[in-house]
Amino acid sequence: MTNVSIIGVGQTKVKEHWDTSLRHLAWYAIEAALDDAHTTDIDAVFVGNMLGGELSKQNHLGALVADFAGLRGVEAIRIEAADASGGAAFRQAVLAVESGLVQTALVVGVEKMTEEMGAPATAALSTALDADYETIHGLTLAGMGALLMRRYMHEYGVDVSDFAGFSVNAHANGALNPLAMYRNRLKPERFAAAPQVAEPVSLFDMAPGGDGAAAVIVTRHERALDMVPQPVRVAGSALATDTLALHDRKDVLWLAAAERSAKQAMIQAGISPEDVDLFELHDSFTVMAALSLEACGFAARGEGWRLARDGEIGRNGRIPVSTFGGLKARGNPAGATGVYQIVEVALQLRGQAGDCQVPDARIGMAQNLGGSGATAVTHILRVD
Amino acid sequence: MEVSRHWRLQTQRYSLVGETCDTCGVKLFPPRDVCLECEAPAKELYTFTGVGEIFSYTTIYEAPAGFEHTTPYMIALIKLEEGPLVTAQLTDVDQEEVYVGMPVEMVTRKLRTEGEEGVIIYGYKFRPAVETAVQ
């Protein structure tokens, strides 16, 4: 158990924000989080962002965002770990407060993905992979997901349609989330007929990129108790790494970093998988959802897909996942995604999830993966 | 222009030169100087035969910049006969013919160009093994 608690959360809708800049998106989420925490007393800012340099031609986001949010002068830095940037930034805030050197830290995940479309945007996202040995051959993130999915299907004898349950569940929950990018329901029979992105990964397997920002404010727990009625405790926090390239892994179908970070976070929290009331996992591709469930101990090896098929991941199921739509329906604003996950788990534990509410949620887990799972950040939050 | 970035990888790209671990004998491609298996130094050069089989594969329809004019194209994880996996494009094969376990061999092909003025980057791709194609 850490001595860190969440006192404020904020988020924007995920969509194509044509009229909103990177700095404005960040500010809208920060403003909402400051309002939620009833404070403007921030000692450090951690910005989770993957593509500012690639797509907005803007690095140096720590100082930019702090200044624009009215926090000029405050310590601020950008954290980059591909699409795990948001989770990694939250982890840095937890470390800062836990160390005692920072009293109150603000995390904002922000991504402005629609500054470029098509091939340049795909190339920017592909920088999560190994440039010299993967992307030089034309591999994309979707291609990476496809290599995993094809091998998974081959080794475990499953079909494309066996992955449908993940996307159907995500869209069913996204339909109830006013901030989700896609609020349409998905018919299972439509799943296998979706246009291919990187066969066998289709549009319905792959989470859509979108613009968005989410923010979280953390402080020491005893202080949090005086500041807000419902602080959400960070019970476990861990980040682990693996090889960037799939070809460097001895066991391609095992997300070793996801397993390692989940185990460490659960040990800190003093819980096991059956204690988790909901799990915001990294469903960048349906196969990543299956592999994450397996690596974190919610399913045996090769069995993760069964949880989706058997309806165990719904809001009333054994392990609810993607409760606000997940990356698939809420949308995947790359470096902001990990902070959205933390906001969503916090709202569930406060009982403020609206139509997306999981009944009696007290312990929630969020896992943010970078690229192939080369970075895995796991957080466990709880309320008493 | 990214000349030095590609020039420094030429022996790997043209000849599949990797490394072997003095301690446990594991062969490494791409070379990484530290053994993936036992973490001992592994700096002795080793030239792979370029023979292997398909471990997994995909067809890319939405390509990154630099590859958008060549879609659809196939990328595979190849299991080399010496052990390592390598990521590469498949060539000289129809999409419908490819399967997990298909024997393949390395060939040298153009990977991409960088516009009219830029360098042409060559490197390894894999095609169906010739003896298989003849059968």
Task: Check residue B133 and give its pLDDT.
Answer: 55
At A251, the pLDDT band (50, 70, 90 cuts) reads very high
Q: Is the dihedral of CA B59, B64, B67, B71 positive or negative?
A: positive
Does B113 reach chain A within 8 Å, measured CB to CB?
A: no
What lies within 8 Å, CB to CB, of A189 at 6+ separation is none
Count of structural domains within chain A: 2
Determine the distance in angstroms separating the CA of A125 from the nearest CA of chain B, rounded to an integer: 9
Collect all residues of chain B within an 8 Å Cβ-Cβ radius of residue A55: none
Question: pLDDT tens digit string along B95-129?
Answer: 999 999 999 999 999 999 888 888 899 999 999 99
DSSP states of A85-119: HHHHHHHHHHHHHHHTS-SEEEEEEEE--TTS-SH
Is the CB of A150 less than 8 angstroms away from the CB of B100?
yes
Q: Is the pLDDT of residue B130 over 90?
A: no
Query: Does A196 contact B at CB distance below 8 Å?
Result: yes
Residue in A with minimal Cα distance to B68: A119
**Are the beta carbons of B5 and B111 closer than 8 angstroms?**
no
The nearest CA of chain B is from the CA of A150 a distance in Å of 6
* CB proximity A197 to B under 8 Å: yes
Please, are residues A253 and A148 in contact by the beta-carbon 8 Å criterion? yes
* Whether residue A223 sits in one domain with residue A173: no
How far apart are alpha carbons A126 and A8 in whole angstroms? 33
Answer yes or no: do A157 and A8 share one domain: no
Does one domain contain both A99 and A75? yes
Q: How does strand B27-28 pair with strand B17-20?
A: antiparallel
Residue A21, token pair as written in the block: 């800049």
* A229 in contact with B, Cβ within 8 Å: no
- Note whether B60 contacts A248, CB cutoff 8 Å: no
CATH number of the domain enclosing A65? 3.40.47.10
Same domain flag for A173 and A224: no
pLDDT at A180 over 90: yes
pLDDT tens digit string along A183-193? Answer: 999 998 888 88
Clarify whether residues A51 and A143 are in a common domain. no
A364: domain range? 119-204+233-382
Pick from B30, B36, B37: which is nearest to A133 by CB? B30
- Cite the DSSP H helix spans in chain A: 22-37, 52-55, 61-68, 85-99, 119-125, 141-156, 164-174, 188-191, 221-227, 256-269, 286-295, 304-309, 326-329, 337-350
Mean pLDDT of A280-296: 98
Residue in chain B nearest A121 by alpha carbon: B64
pLDDT of residue B132: 58
Nearest CA in chain A to B13: A133
Return the residue in A117, A141, A147, A149 with the most chain B beta carbons within 10 A, the one to mutate for interface testing. A147
In the predicted model, is pLDDT for residue A333 greater than 70? yes
Contact B31, B52 (CB under 8 A): no
The number of beta carbons lying within 10 Å of the beta carbon of residue B95 is 12
Structural domains in chain B, CATH included, are 3-133 (2.40.50.840)
Average pLDDT, chain A: 97
Please tell me if residue B134 touches chain A, with a CB cutoff of 8 Å: no
User: Which residues in chain A are closer than 8 Å to B36, comparing Cβ atoms?
Assistant: 248, 250
What is the bridge-based pairing of β-strands A75-79 and A44-48? parallel
Is the ipTM beyond the 0.90 threshold? yes
Domain boundary among A172, A196, A230: A230
The verdict on pTM exceeding 0.95 is yes
Cβ distance of A126 and B66 shorter than 8 Å = no
Q: Residue B24: is its pLDDT beyond 80?
A: yes
Q: Do B87 and A122 touch (CB under 8 A)?
A: no
Residue A319, phi-psi category: left (phi > 0), alpha (psi -120 to 50), beta (remainder): beta
Mutate to test the interface with A, among B28, B56, B91 (most CBs of A within 10 A): B56
Q: Quick one: average pLDDT of A82-105?
A: 98
Taking a C-beta distance cutoff of 8 angstroms, is the pair A88, A81 a contact? yes
Which residue, of A230, A264, A298, is where some domain finishes?
A: A230
One domain, residues A157 and A50: no
Residue B134 has pLDDT above 70, yes or no: no
Angle (nearest 5°) at CA A186 between A184 and A187: 140
Same domain, A81 and A124: no
Provide DSSP, B40-100: SB--EEEE---EEEEEEEEEESSPPTTSTTS-SEEEEEEEETTS-EEEEEB-SS-GGG--T
Query: Per-residue pLDDT tens for B64-85?
Result: 999 999 999 999 999 999 999 9
Do residues A168 and A298 share a domain?
Answer: yes
For chain B, the first-to-last Cα distance in angstroms comes to 44
Pick the residue from chain B with its C-alpha nearest to A153: B56
SS3 content of chain A, % helix, strand, coil (to 5): 40, 20, 40
What pLDDT is stored for residue A85 in this prediction? 98
Q: What is the pLDDT of residues A193-240, one digit of tens each?
A: 899 999 999 999 999 999 999 999 999 999 999 999 999 999 999 999
* Phi, psi dihedrals of residue A146, rounded to the nearest 5°: -70, -40
Task: Answer whether A209 touches B (CB < 8 Å).
Answer: no
Q: Which of A123, A146, A151 sits opposite B65 (nearest CB)?
A: A123
Out of A127-131, A135-139, A186-190, pick the least confident: A186-190
Q: Could you give the 3-state DSSP secondary structure of residue A228?
A: coil
A147:B58 CB<8 A: yes
> Residue A324: in which H helix or E strand, if any?
none
Closest C-alpha to A66, from A80, A83, A54, A78: A78
Residue to mutate among A137, A151, A203, A251, with most B CBs inside 10 A, is A137
Flag whether pLDDT at A68 surpasses 80: yes
Same-domain check for residues A140 and A96: no
Kindly state whether residues A333 and A247 are assigned to the same domain. yes
Segment A300-309 mean pLDDT? 98
CA–CA separation, A382 vs A346, rounded Å? 8
Q: Which amino acid is at A70?
A: G
A34-A38-A42-A47 Cα dihedral, nearest 10 degrees = -20
User: Given pLDDT bands bounded at 50, 70 and 90, which one contains residue A287?
Assistant: very high
CB < 8 Å from A in window 45-84 of B = 55-68, 70, 73, 75-77, 84
Tokens of B78: 């190849």
Chain B residues lying within 8 Å of A154, measured CB to CB: 56, 100
Q: Are residues A166 and A252 in the same domain?
A: yes
The Cα of A120 is separated from the nearest Cα of chain B by a number of Å equal to 5
Tokens encoding B63: 């390509």
**Contact assessment for residue A53 and residue A337, using Cβ atoms and an 8 Å cutoff:** no
**A277 and A332 housed in the same domain:** yes
* Whole-number percent of chain A with pLDDT over 90: 98
